[in-house]
Structure 1
Amino acid sequence: MTYRKRLLLLIILDSLCVFTAIYFSHLILSTKYYLTPFLVVSSLTLLIGHHLLAAYYKLYKRVLEYASIGELVTIFKSVTYSILITAVVQFLFYQDVYIRALVITWMLLMLFIGGSRFVWRLYRDAYLKVKNQGERTLIIGAGSAGTMIARQLKNNSGSKLYPVAFIDDDCQKQQMEIMGIPVIGGVNLIEKSVIEFDIKNIIIAIPSLNKKELNKIVQECSKTNVRTQTLPMIEDLVLGKVSVNDFRDVRIEDLLGREPVKLDDKNLLDTIHHQTILVTGAGGSIGSEICRQVSKYKPSKIVLLGHGENSIYTIEQELLNTYDEINFVTEIADVQDKDKMFAILLKHRPSMVYHAAAHKHVPLMERNPEEAVKNNVIGTKNVAEAADHAKVKTFVMVSTDKAVNPTSVMGATKRIAEMVVQHMDTISNTRFVAVRFGNVLGSRGSVIPLFKKQIQAGGPVTVTHPDMERYFMTIPEASRLVIQAGALARGGEIFVLDMGDPVKIIDLAKNLIKLSGYSVEDIGIVYSGIRPGEKLFEELLNENEVHHKQVFPKIHIGKATFIEGKFLSVLINEFENLSIDELRVTLLDIAGGRVKEEKLVVNY
């Protein structure tokens, strides 16, 4: 129905309501009903007054499907003021006010006009309740978000979900009904409610939940083997990227990530705004997220440097579509090419370099230690020296917890790369720092994508050891730490995030299986054994590096242990002449500080 037809229909309906109310008011009062100037003037005044006030309060623009208290208040104002206007006209023309008739007319108008608005909604709700055969859905959270979700699902005839019950820990809401949907109890009743109400889908609708509370709810939901979903990210709703009906499955990242570290926006603006920024490894998981985070602070130019053309192209297109005021420049180059690094940094002369290019896969680097040296050590040295030559203000290297007491080639090369950065800080005007964190959730080659593929294939999920633990953080969190470290840098620091408690990989696997809608028995878990170079437990700082003072919320600076540059030169010049076993031993000795007489400890 067009707007004009709908408007005409409502005007005719309200006009009939006005005349009917006036007629019945006189009939109820047993007055002699005949057309007199008094009655005509009163009727016309009431009719015109109501329509004018209805237009003023936009009563005819209200969507009847969502008629609620707001519409009732508007009707009350429109009817009340039109009755008052009629009373004034009666007094001005006839020096008399027919109070009883007007009072009864007011009550009848509220009944007729208000009822006409709500009858359609009652009919529609009842019709949809019969028609909607969507999956029976349990909504956890009977607050504003949960109520909004329930209303959307009930009013959307095309929805595949239909709300039948709420769960909420608020005692004042329990045993009550919201839009005809019962609030049956707290989180402890989730499993019982799923059975009692034959629930096929669960939606968690509490945007304010912290990670600990969400984990508790998900653990209860996992007992039911019913699909559990949650609301989209609030920022995505606000930006219009998704609608409130675009529920997503609860991800393992929701449970393992900590509450986000709040950045020092003023300091970051001073550091990044209107500056030229260069990111190596810009197409990787961390590098691309650094580019996204940095772009929010409106630098004048970001140089996207990477070896893989496809990944660089992908992040370039994403950023171009989001930030049209920033100049994005791509450089396809290998950090192992020293001359190219010098040329690129001299060409762009960035004020800040984020060095995220590295080989990171532990088993692969165990078998190819010379490649780990070339990329992680020599590549870092090349970019660092180029940064010094181009007079870059700050150089931030992305490191790993595997650099602490390393047992793997990858960890050893990252620790030696830290030493390169620390050494460069002692001989350069550029501020050189490193940022150390644990495993990154969802990054390419990480354990979670592997587990997901194994679950999709029907299992089993392979875990190396039942006692293996790891620290985890999200890609955005890791990237925020990197850019915050750049703003905090004084030179020579190793920044470490307070990553909370480590997570057992076996628990991670079990949670992921349950969140995917399966039982552990269905998928199965097998132990493959610890791979070469792996440790059961990772550390963020060794005993000689522990420094408990925080320089920023959840950010520590470790004490730095490093060796003189000549030992690094020997390694770089001679590593190709060593066998794989000799190279592995040499790397672990240097990274572990097992170089006699020349070891230094510097405190920050």
Structure 2
Amino acid sequence: MPLHFNIEQFIGAHITYRSQSLFLPDMEAHAKRLQDEIKDKKVLIIGGAGTIGSSFIRALVRYNPGKLIVVDINENGLTELVRDCRSRTDLKLPSDFKTYPVNFSDNAFRKIFEHEGPFDIVANFAAHKHVRSEKDIFSIEAMIDNNVTRAKELLELLSKQPPKHFFCVSTDKAANPVNVMGASKKLMEEVILAYSEQMKITTARFANVAFSNGSLLAGFIERVLKQQPLSCPSDVKRFFVSPDESGQICLCACILGQSGEIFFPKLEESSMVNFSDVVKPFLKEMGFDAKSCASEEEAREATKDIKKGIYPVYFFSSNTSGEKLYEEFYTDEEELDLKTFGSFGIVKNAKRRKIDELDKVIQTLKQVFEDTKAEKKDIIAALNSMIPGFEHIETGINLDQKM
């Protein structure tokens, strides 16, 4: 990997086409409030080792929290988070800073919560985020357990000692979902908003985070390091934000939002980027010319030309289940506030259900999972009955079947 390659600079030049953060003007305009609400406060971050969680932490610590506890099941990710923050010249972690490689549904987490709390700010980034995590009923059970059931258990725990600010990250795919991941996040939104009268709760839907952990673009780096071919859809466009921007929108929603609000970035449709348009400038940064291949086999065979400066790329038309060829941050039925902030829009009236109704929804899903004869189509049918507008796109092909 060339030493000159800077991910944030590449994202600005070739993906977002922004020289500064989209959200910087709003953050500067509300800097005093952010400082007042964060300085010297006790903060708990769940899922803080991921791209968005770690970006949230980097945005947060600039306002000098007094205590920071970070929990994530990814032990290696926590190690890198610490190394990254300690190595930066523009960040200073609070003296009371600890990381714990535990699951937020474990008894150990509850002990940490009781020992280190109460907390002023709690933010949850622990989630299944990949559409590929819906290949069968077993992977779907794990996804719904993490995104929905555990989120509700966390809120039950927090209700005993409510923080002043609670944030849980959502996704643009929760608006008119076509995949189970989006449906699970839509249910998560309804779960957390059901508690929004008991404590201040906000969330955010936003675009793809460029070069986030596990993403297609981050995979480009891994492939180049291993001299393996790239694989990229030719027909999928996405809105993008940078890692720093992902943390900033979550921080602003958490601190500046009112209870029950869903933040989203104000992005024009013209700013959407085709994944395939990123390939050539990326490879150029790496010192290669791209070679288009018609199949996975041809791309693998062409790796012999990498030493000549020619890099094989398999471009394909998307045909996997749950793949949405466009993105949207809100539905026609949702009330929007487009005036309060310059770079954020807000969904004001997102659907809310009663807690006891959601208990029944979760119990119904559990019953489907407990049926040893149940299949993916059965859980999708159950979700269809629970989430109006959910229209799953099933092709019989999942991302694990592709390079």
| TM-score of the aligned structures, taking structure 1 as reference length | 0.54
Q: Deviations over 1:117-153 (max 9, x none)?
A: xxxxxxxxxxxxxxxxxxxxxxxxxxxxxxxxxxxxx
Paired position in structure 2 for 1:572:
362
Q: Specify whether residues 366 and 424 from structure 1 end up closer, same or farther in structure 2 by C-alpha distance, changes over 3 A only.
A: farther
Please tell me whether residue 291 in structure 1 is matched to residue 57 in structure 2.
yes
Pairwise CA distance, 1:377: 0.5
1:566 Cα deviation from its structure 2 partner: 3.4
Q: Is the 8 A contact 1:470 1:502 kept in 2?
A: yes
* 1:363 matched to 2:143: no
- Measured at CA, do residues 589 and 450 of structure 1 come closer, stay the same or move farther in structure 2, by a change above 3 Å? farther
- Letter matched to residue 58 of structure 2: R
Q: Paired residue for 2:299?
A: none
Task: Determine the structure 1 residue equivalent to 2:267.
Answer: 499
Look up the SS of the partner of 2:159 in the other structure: helix
Alignment root-mean-square deviation, CA: 2.6
Q: 1:547 to 1:587 in 2, by over 3 A?
A: same
Q: 2: distance between equivalents of 1:324 and 1:490?
A: 27
CA shift for structure 1 position 458: 6.0
**In the alignment, does 2:282 pair up with 1:512?**
yes
Number of the residue aligned with 1:582: 378
Secondary structure (helix, strand or coil) at the match of 1:296 reads helix
Q: CA 1:474 to 1:252, structure 2 compared with 1: closer, same or farther past 3 Å?
A: closer
1:439 and 1:473 in contact (8 A); partners too: yes
1:346 aligns with 2:114: yes
Distance 1:477 1:351, change over 3 A: same
- Does residue 255 (structure 1) correspond to residue 25 (structure 2)? The answer is no
Q: 1:319, 1:524 → 2: CA distance?
A: 34
Report how far residue 494 of structure 1 moved: 0.6
| Aligned residue number for residue 469 of structure 1 | 237
CA positional deviation for 1:290: 1.4
Q: Which amino acid aligns with 1:256?
A: I
Aligned to 1:281: 47
Counterpart-to-counterpart distance in 2, 1:323 and 1:513: 34
Residue among 533, 536, 549 paired with 2:322: 533
- Map of 1:433 onto structure 2: 202
Q: Is the 8 A contact 2:14 2:278 kept in 1?
A: no
CA shift, 1:390, in A, is 1.1
Aligned amino acid, residue 304 of structure 1: V
CA 1:326–1:417 in 2, change beyond 3 Å: closer, same or farther? same
Measure how far apart 1:585 and its partner are.
2.7
CA contact (8 A) 2:235 2:318 kept: no
Deviations for 1:52-100, whole angstroms, at most 9, x for unmatched residues?
xxxxxxxxxxxxxxxxxxxxxxxxxxxxxxxxxxxxxxxxxxxxxxxxx
How far off its partner does 1:456 sit?
5.7
Q: Would the aligned equivalents of 2:46 and 2:124 in 1 still touch at CA under 8 Å?
A: yes
Q: CA deviation at 1:248?
A: 4.1
1:350 deviation in Å? 0.7
Aligned partners of 1:343, 1:421: CA distance in 2, in Å? Answer: 22
CA contact (8 A) 1:408 1:588 kept: no
Q: CA deviation at 1:493?
A: 0.4
SS of equivalent to 1:561: coil
Match in the other structure for 1:483: 251
Distance 2:181 2:325 in 1: 16
2:182 alignment counterpart: 411
Say which of 18, 34, 45 aligns to 1:268.
34
Q: Displacement, 1:591?
A: 3.6
Q: Percent identity?
A: 26
- The structure that has the greater radius of gyration is 1
In the TM superposition, what whole-angstrom CA distance separates every residue of 1:418-461 from its partner, at most 9, and x where no partner exists? Answer: 111111103x1x10111111111111111112234445666653
Q: 1:585 to 1:304 in 2, by over 3 A?
A: same
3-state DSSP of counterpart to 1:552: coil
- Is the 8 Å Cα contact of residues 334 and 350 (structure 2) preserved in structure 1? yes
Cα contact 1:513–1:519 (8 A) shared by 2: yes
Q: Which residue of 1 aligns with 2:155?
A: 384
Instruction: Return the alpha-carbon distance in structure 1 between the equivalents of residues 212 and 12 of structure 2.
Output: 11
Match of 1:205 in 2: none
> Which letter does structure 1 place at the counterpart of 2:267?
M
CA distance in 1, matches of 2:79, 2:285: 33
Opposite residue 329 of structure 1, the aligned amino acid is: K
Q: Output the amino acid matched with 1:486.
A: C
Q: 1:404: Cα distance to partner?
A: 1.1
> Which letter does structure 2 place at the counterpart of 1:576?
K
2-side partners of 1:463 and 1:324: how far apart?
38
Q: Which amino acid aligns with 1:526?
A: F
Q: Which moved more, 1:384-393 or 1:519-528?
A: 519-528
Q: Is the 8 A contact 1:406 1:588 kept in 2?
A: no
CA distance 1:248–1:524, change in 2 (3 Å): closer
Q: Is the 8 A contact 1:252 1:512 kept in 2?
A: no
1:437-491 deviations in whole A, cap 9, x for unaligned? 1111111111112234445666653233x33111111111010111111221220
Matched AA of 2:378: E
**Contact 2:61 2:94 (C-alpha < 8 Å) held by counterparts:** no
The answer to whether the Cα contact below 8 Å between 1:434 and 1:493 also exists between their aligned partners in 2 is yes
Correspondence for 1:550: 339
Mark the runs of 5 or more structure 2 residues left unpaired by the alignment.
292-309, 369-373, 391-403
1:71 corresponds to? none
Pick the aligned partner of 1:327 from 90, 96, 103: 96
- Find the aligned partners of 2:158 and 2:389 in 1 and give their Cα distance: 26
SS of residue matched to 1:563: coil
Residue number among 192, 195, 200 corresponding to 1:424 in the alignment: 195
Task: Quote how far apart the aligned CAs of 1:376 are.
Answer: 0.6
Q: Which residues of structure 1 form unaligned runs of 5+?
A: 1-228, 230-245, 595-604
The one-letter code of the counterpart of 1:583 is I
Higher normalized helix content (fraction of residues): 1
